[in-house]
Structure 1
Amino acid sequence: MMNKKRRLATAAHCGTGRKKKQAELELRQSEERYRLMIEGVKDYAIFMLDTTGHILTWNEGARRIKGYSANEIIGRHFSTFYTAEDLESQKPARELRIAIETGRYEEEGWRVKRNGSVFWANVVITALYNEQNKLIGFSKVTRDLTERKENEENLRQSEEQYRSLVQQVTDYGIFMMDEKGRIINWNEGARRINGYTNEEIVGKYFSIFYPEEDILNGKPSHELKVARAEGKYEEEGWRIRKDGSVFWANVVITAIYNAQGIHIGFSKVTRDLTERKKAEKELRNSYDRYRVLANELKQTNSELSVANEELEQFTSIVSHDLQEPIRTIKSFLQLIDLKISQQQDEKLKTYIQKSLHAANRMKELIQNLLQYSQVSKATFSRETVKLDELLDEVLQNVKTSVESSQARITIETQVASVYGNRTQLMQLVQNLVSNSLKFRADEDPQILIRCLKEKDQVKFAVSDNGIGIDKDDLEKIFEVFRRLHTEKDYPGTGIGLAICKRIVDRHGGQIWPESIPGKGTTFYFTLNQATTEGLLVS
């Protein structure tokens, strides 16, 4: 019986031993797996310290973050990673003491790598105890937060720059409001536009800037409601300054949300557009005045057009009707002249000759007046006119005068053709050449005709070496019937240059003289050559 009990006890003892060994094996295997897992972590430096702070273990994350291999660092004190300032203040020892007293120590701060560079670290030191509650060392977990620190610093600097920029803006009132519409900051532009200092306005409801009528109608709260619903609210309207004066403002209110999408308030940007509003009002008033003036001018032009048509009609009728009685008077004077013998009455004969001369001059005046009226009255058709053919025809028409005065005419032209009314252009050039031949000095006439291109115009110049024109008379010469000399000295009606000006006007150009008395005159004129088909000048 005793042997049986002994065998049972031995068997039980052996079973307990086997279980204990199995448990110890499983614990070692678990610890090994845990060790391998810790050593393989790369994003965190995880290592053990003894009770005095010397390093016992070293994982891959610690090697990657701090730069030391396990052989280089195990056995060294963990103060190796601290800056000179931290060592001087005995920070490592203080951290261990706090970990013992509270169970753990955590902070963020600068740490030193093997190569001497620093990094921003999150550090957690935990005090470790055995089953008998005896301190056996510390675990230390370090994470490199340098990138996050740099991002935070960049963000802080960016926010600081943005805040400084906003604060210094003077043309726009920019400020923030809480979700209720109370002002929480205030920039220089807002002070300048609205008149309130930062101390006077922060904490006030933004309806302080609105006219009483808008406040009674609930306009400020309506604007915030729209901004919440649509993201922003924008309008132009009247606002009130601190001194009670009003200004025309462009206002933009924007709803602001944090990173979690929670509404935290509003931004408000105000721009003073009072000057622009005044300018728009003045522009409208100017436009109204212009419209009234335009209507009056249109009416006046209409009346002038009618009067001009009546005047031209009257000129034409008078010119035609006066020619008949002149012809009759001239015919009877000629008959009387034939009937009177030279011996009968010499004085009467002289009177009849003077009367005939006056009748001839009257006829010439009437014909020139009719010609002047027909320049603007006749149908104005344009065509491409070859310049050499035009000038040849002009020279042929004045050939007798050129030969009798022994004049020399020179032509210099860069233009092959012009665009205009052939008949009127020929009359224009011929009148100017005839003038040069008529108002000659003692020497033989020298006449130069030039023509050249100038952008969309053709410019002519007719120069002579004649008697010239006084400076005071230059503006008078284009007036109808204006004569600067007596008919006895220089015959003519005084209408030739008036016809020239009217022809140039009809061609969209300008005509003007340049002259030195006793040395000659140059008449310049331009012809507008622009058409819907482009420049017809070659």
Structure 2
Amino acid sequence: MSQPSDAARFHLLVSGVNDYAIYMLSPEGNVVSWNAGAQRFKGYTSDEIIGRHFSLFYTEEDRAKDKPAWVLQTALKEGKYEEEGWRVRKDGTRFWASVVIDPIRDEQGNLAGFAKITRDITEQKKARDAMLESEQRFRFLVQGVTDYAIFMLSPQGEVSNWNAGAQRIKGYAPEEIIGQHFSRFYTEEDRAIGLPARALETAPREGRFENEGWRVRKDGTRFWANVVIDAIRDDQGGLLGFAKVTRDITERRDAAQALERAKEALFQSQKLEAIGKLTGGVAHDFNNLLGVLSTGLEILAREVQSQTGIKMMAAMQRAVTRGATLTQQLLSFARQQPLRQDRYNLNAVIGKFEAVLRRAIDESIRFDLRMDPALRPVQIDAAQFEAALLNLVSNARDAMPDGGTLTLSTENVQLGENQVDHLPAGQFIKVTVADTGCGMSPDVAARAIEPFFTTKEVGKGTGMGLSQVYGLVQQCGGDLEIATEVGKGTVISIYLPALGAEDSRDLASAETNAGNDKALVVDDQPDVLEVAAEMFRSMGYDVLSANNAAGALEILKRTPDIDVLFSDVVMPDINGVVLAQEARKLVPGIKVVLASGYPAPALNEENASIRSFQFVSKPYRLAEIMRKLRAVD
């Protein structure tokens, strides 16, 4: 049996291929051969298709444009034609085909026809289209995100694409930034230490780089950013570039810092409040002991005749006096010092006291006095204010042993809500004592107003100076602020509520109040009760007092012509809100003002009916009480 020729073997090979349609066309485009793959893809047998024009496989749209003829012309001109497109089977269904057409020439170079190879790649097209659709959706998603800057970097760090979030956050349009190096988003300080390069080194090594820090917008402003850089690799592990996601978290950072400051302020406030309660209790007990000693010394002084005994008695009496002074400072810090408040212009108070202040410093210190000529009046105990001012000036002097400048100034200021600690919004008087001395470290400044805390040598100071100032200011409804830096001096600022025209009317009315009006003052703290009672007496009221709600109710039952009830809210037996409700039942029309050291919102959570009454926060002022009483009318 003879073996088939090479040509016959090749013919058998082509005819048996099922995955490709391989067939010949005449120079005019008629089918002249047909393999098994062609029959499988297109549905025609060789008898049905040989001799017919290959345009039969094209869609009506392509035939209408005379595409088959153009294809053959292109193959002749270019030496090959290759494309993908829709083709039609015998049953009319379509498939997506990969098509290659090569012109075939004889040994003389004459066109013998065309070799045509077609493959059905419909499934691959579906998969590819699905991927493209997915990529497009992802691209639209990324482009539509405005809260995040999402963009790509080349392996060298150049920006290669740019989404809407990047434009919103960083301020650059795509045409302004694509092709630019991403290091321009970093601050000068970060660029100087090589942070952008370190980020690109870290991401490929560890898979990602993440940090928070300042970044720079196109206009030069800064924002606090959370940044993630991921290394992007191909299937072989080669670095293609980086995906970078940036978010502006400035507001979140500011909120977190504000919360931290609030927590720290609350901690300091609670610590000082606890120290204040302890200090106040010690001071009251100490006062009692000093009273016993002072009375005993007066009695003994009558009995002692010797010169030595008289000197000893005098020294002991001086010690008692110094102890009494210290007690007053303790009470001032604890905000339990009875104040003799009146309306003053602090410029006038400082002017009368200026000579004393100048004597408190030495010649090496320049004393600079700057007073606002239009200063508003305040409600203050002038003597206590002078003592506080002397303490501040003395501290400033001690901070400048080699000389310097001490500046005392006054000014009107408008504060926003909580701009200075927890002070309400409004008009305040700011009194500032500034020195150019040694300053304080942050740790020392944080403890500066604690009683008995001092950095001076033993015997050189009691540590009560700033404590006394702080207590006085707090008791007057103000606050104290310390700004200091080691080697650059210290600025102590006192804020006191300014009086306006309304306060003037209230104070005036205090002097003309009906002398026979009666006020019932209730507080479980004896000293607070005494001060509050004295305040109402100064307004012209006949005052009755009780140290608990039960006692107050008994007085109301016995004395139904009481005009005003002024009561603390938090008391051990019956709280002030319940007392006020019962008082209105017993004495219809009674004016009620409630007071508490707790803020009104905190009290509202426990007893919403407190909103039915006028309320003042401790420490309160005379003018404030008068406004509340007027509001009840």
Give the TM-score, by structure 1 length.
Answer: 0.51
Change in Cα spacing, 1:482 to 1:116, as seen in structure 2 (3 Å) is: same
Q: Does 2:346 correspond to 1:274?
A: no
Q: Does 2:197 correspond to 1:197?
A: no
AA paired with 1:278?
D
Which of residues 244, 253, 257 is equivalent to 2:229? 253
AA paired with 2:554?
R
1:380-434 residue CA offsets vs partner (Å, 9 max, x unmatched) = xxxxxxxxxxxxxxxxxxxxxxxxxxxxxxxxxxxxxxxxxxxxxxxxxxxxxxx
1:493-523 residue CA offsets vs partner (Å, 9 max, x unmatched) = xxxxxxxx97899xxxx9x979989xxxxxx
AA paired with 2:137?
Q
Aligned length: 314
Superposed displacement of residue 243, structure 1: 2.1
Residue in structure 1 matched with residue 593 of structure 2 by the alignment: none
Residue in structure 1 matched with residue 218 of structure 2 by the alignment: 242
AA paired with 1:26?
Q
Change in Cα spacing, 1:132 to 1:225, as seen in structure 2 (3 Å) is: same
What is the SS of the residue equivalent to 1:154?
A: helix
Q: Distance in 1 between matches of 2:164 and 2:179?
A: 17
Instruction: Mark the runs of 5 or more structure 1 residues left unpaired by the alignment.
Output: 1-21, 310-475, 488-500, 518-538
Which of residues 53, 56, 62 is equivalent to 2:38? 62
- Show structure 1 runs of 4+ deviating over 6 A: 303-309, 501-505, 512-517
Q: Does 2:166 correspond to 1:184?
A: no
1:233-282 residue CA offsets vs partner (Å, 9 max, x unmatched) = 11001111222221111011122223443322222211111111111211
Superposed displacement of residue 75, structure 1: 2.6
Residue in structure 1 matched with residue 113 of structure 2 by the alignment: 137
Residue in structure 1 matched with residue 424 of structure 2 by the alignment: none
Residue in structure 2 matched with residue 154 of structure 1 by the alignment: 130
Q: Distance in 2 between matches of 1:149 and 1:77?
A: 27
5 Å-filtered alignment, 1:493-504, equals none
Q: Distance in 1 between matches of 2:75 and 2:262?
A: 84
Superposed displacement of residue 52, structure 1: 2.8
Q: Percentage identity across aligned positions?
A: 45
Superposed displacement of residue 230, structure 1: 1.6
Superposed displacement of residue 154, structure 1: 2.7
Q: Does 2:197 correspond to 1:221?
A: yes
Residue in structure 2 matched with residue 478 of structure 1 by the alignment: 550
Change in Cα spacing, 1:202 to 1:304, as seen in structure 2 (3 Å) is: same
Instruction: Mark the runs of 5 or more structure 2 residues left unpaired by the alignment.
Output: 286-547, 560-570, 587-633
1:332-384 residue CA offsets vs partner (Å, 9 max, x unmatched) = xxxxxxxxxxxxxxxxxxxxxxxxxxxxxxxxxxxxxxxxxxxxxxxxxxxxx
Superposed displacement of residue 182, structure 1: 1.6
AA paired with 1:482?
E
Q: Distance in 1 between matches of 2:583 and 2:12?
A: 109
Q: Distance in 1 between matches of 2:213 and 2:200?
A: 16
Q: Distance in 1 between matches of 2:44 and 2:103?
A: 24
Change in Cα spacing, 1:210 to 1:485, as seen in structure 2 (3 Å) is: closer
Paired residues of 2:22 and 2:117 also in contact (CA < 8 A): yes
Q: Distance in 2 between matches of 1:163 and 1:485?
A: 81
What is the SS of the residue equivalent to 1:53?
A: coil
Paired residues of 1:477 and 1:483 also in contact (CA < 8 A): no
Residue in structure 2 matched with residue 287 of structure 1 by the alignment: 263
Paired residues of 2:550 and 2:574 also in contact (CA < 8 A): no
What is the SS of the residue equivalent to 2:3?
A: helix
What is the SS of the residue equivalent to 1:193?
A: helix
Which of residues 99, 103, 116 is equivalent to 1:127? 103
Superposed displacement of residue 289, structure 1: 0.8
Q: Distance in 1 between matches of 2:126 and 2:135?
A: 14
AA paired with 1:478?
A
Q: Distance in 2 between matches of 1:262 and 1:37?
A: 41
Please provide the CA RMSD for this pair. Answer: 3.7
Change in Cα spacing, 1:503 to 1:140, as seen in structure 2 (3 Å) is: same
Higher radius of gyration, 1 or 2: 1
Change in Cα spacing, 1:95 to 1:189, as seen in structure 2 (3 Å) is: closer
5 Å-filtered alignment, 1:291-306, equals 291-300=267-276
Paired residues of 2:550 and 2:573 also in contact (CA < 8 A): no
5 Å-filtered alignment, 1:68-83, equals 68-83=44-59
Residue in structure 2 matched with residue 415 of structure 1 by the alignment: none
Change in Cα spacing, 1:297 to 1:147, as seen in structure 2 (3 Å) is: same
1:52-87 residue CA offsets vs partner (Å, 9 max, x unmatched) = 322233222212222223333233211100122322
Superposed displacement of residue 100, structure 1: 4.4
AA paired with 1:204?
Q
Q: Distance in 2 between matches of 1:166 and 1:143?
A: 36
1:420-470 residue CA offsets vs partner (Å, 9 max, x unmatched) = xxxxxxxxxxxxxxxxxxxxxxxxxxxxxxxxxxxxxxxxxxxxxxxxxxx
